[in-house]
Amino acid sequence: MSGPQTRAYCDGVVESEGFPVADVSDWLAQAGTVVWVDLCGPSRDQLHELANELGLHELAVEDALSQHQRPKLDHYETHLFLSAHSVGIDGDTGELAATEIDAFINDRWLITVRKDDGFSMGQVLQRWDRSADLAKLGVSFMLYGLLDAIVDGYFDTVQAFDDFYDEVSEGIFSERPLDPAQQRHWFEMRRALVRFHRLVVPMREAVSALMRREQSAVAEPLYPYYQDVYDHILRVSESTDALRDLVSTIVETNLSLRDYRQNQVMKKVTSWAAIIAVPTLITGFYGMNVPYPGFGQESGVVVSATLMALLSSGLYVLFRKRDWL
């Protein structure tokens, strides 16, 4: 795990970075200063030390320390608590990699807590440095940069799912059946899609709650930017719904094709069994130990052989005509 990252802004300009977390209070004592602290996989003592210094609510601190929080926005007396997830997918294994990112939000400070280093803050810092004019808006702008980086990663994941299911859609009509490894991969990707949907959809509600003007969490000039993030989340959510429908269609189609192929095999097997039954019937009849026309004579052999050839050929032609063979 990487160490804490810190920055202090004054009127949108970086005054200092990389200072110890213990100096946060000193920077906040200066008027007009905004502080950002990032903790990656912090210990309980590290987070509680910062919580005591900034007055973080104990329930929010416990949520930041616990695993598998759903995306949400909680309101406390002195700050907001946002829980989100950065998500990526490995198309070869079907493994969904999700990193939980929690944020404590105040007018003067932004504290981000990452469960692991699966999400790099470097891309967020690039967004902050790229828009120095908006940095004057303080925490609202910093939070926007964080959300924008998280949501942009969703599009890459959706594209990976889309590419995979396009390939699957073309492959299900192949005459060669799926091997167990492919079936397992299908299952893992489908399970990953369900989990991805559960992580993305609640983000829509969290960002919507963040944008409510009565909360005063977003500076007025930044509303169009937050609206853009919200629209991106809607697009991702709609895409995952469409993918889930596609997956259901693929599964149903695959089952139908499997039943169809099985019926084709059964028709062929049954047809050949009927053809073979004719010689069996005739040889069984002529093999009886009782006198019959042609018994013990060469004509009986000719008649039986002719019947077997004609009837078997007739059945073969009939089954071929009906596409049973």
CATH number at residue 114: 3.30.460.20
- For residues 62 and 83, the answer to whether their CB atoms sit within 8 Å is no
The answer to whether residue 85 sits within a structural domain is yes
For the chain, the residue count is 325
250 and 289 within one domain: no
- Choice between 183 and 86, residue whose per-residue pLDDT is larger: 86
The answer to whether residue 262 sits within a structural domain is no
Q: How far apart are CA 49 and CA 54, in angstroms?
A: 9
- Residue 116 — very low, low, confident or very high, per pLDDT cuts 50/70/90? confident
**Mean pLDDT of the residues in the chain:** 84
The 10s digit of each residue's pLDDT in 219-234 is 889 999 999 999 999 9
- The pTM of the whole model exceeds 0.75: yes
158 and 302 within one domain: no
Mean pLDDT across 106-128: 91
Q: Strands of 72-75's sheet, edge to edge?
A: 13-17, 5-10, 33-40, 109-114, 95-105, 80-90, 72-75
131 and 12 within one domain: yes
234 and 278 within one domain: no
Residue 9 has pLDDT above 60, yes or no: yes
* DSSP conformation class of 109: E
307 and 172 within one domain: no
The answer to whether residue 11 sits within a structural domain is yes
Q: How far is CA 37 from CA 107, 139, 253, in A?
A: 14, 12, 51
**H or E segment at 126?**
helix 122-130
Domain closes at, from 215, 231, 257: 257
The 10s digit of each residue's pLDDT in 25-40 is 889 988 889 999 999 9
Map 160-212 to HEC letters. Answer: HHHHHHHHHHHHCCCCCCCCHHHHHHHHHHHHHHHHHHHHHHHHHHHHHHHCC
Residue 29: what are its φ and ψ, rounded to 5°? -70, -15
154 and 18 within one domain: yes
Domain holding 294, by residue range, is 267-321
Q: How far apart are CA 297 and CA 92, in angstroms?
A: 72
Measured CA angle at 216 (ends 151, 51), to 5 deg: 75
Domain closes at, from 206, 225, 257: 257
303 and 163 within one domain: no
Residue 285 has pLDDT above 70, yes or no: no
- For residues 134 and 222, the answer to whether their CB atoms sit within 8 Å is yes
**Any residues with CB less than 8 A from the CB of 69 and at least 6 apart, and which?**
63, 83, 100, 102
The answer to whether residue 201 sits within a structural domain is yes
pLDDT at residue 147, rounded to an integer: 95
219 and 87 within one domain: yes
Q: How far is CA 51 from CA 21, 59, 187, in A?
A: 11, 11, 42
pLDDT at residue 21, rounded to an integer: 87
108 and 201 within one domain: yes
314 and 165 within one domain: no
If we measure between CA atoms, which residue out of 138, 310, 135, 132 comes closest to residue 216? 138
Mean pLDDT across 268-273: 79
Number of structural domains the chain divides into: 2
276 and 162 within one domain: no
Mean pLDDT across 282-293: 64
pLDDT at residue 157, rounded to an integer: 92
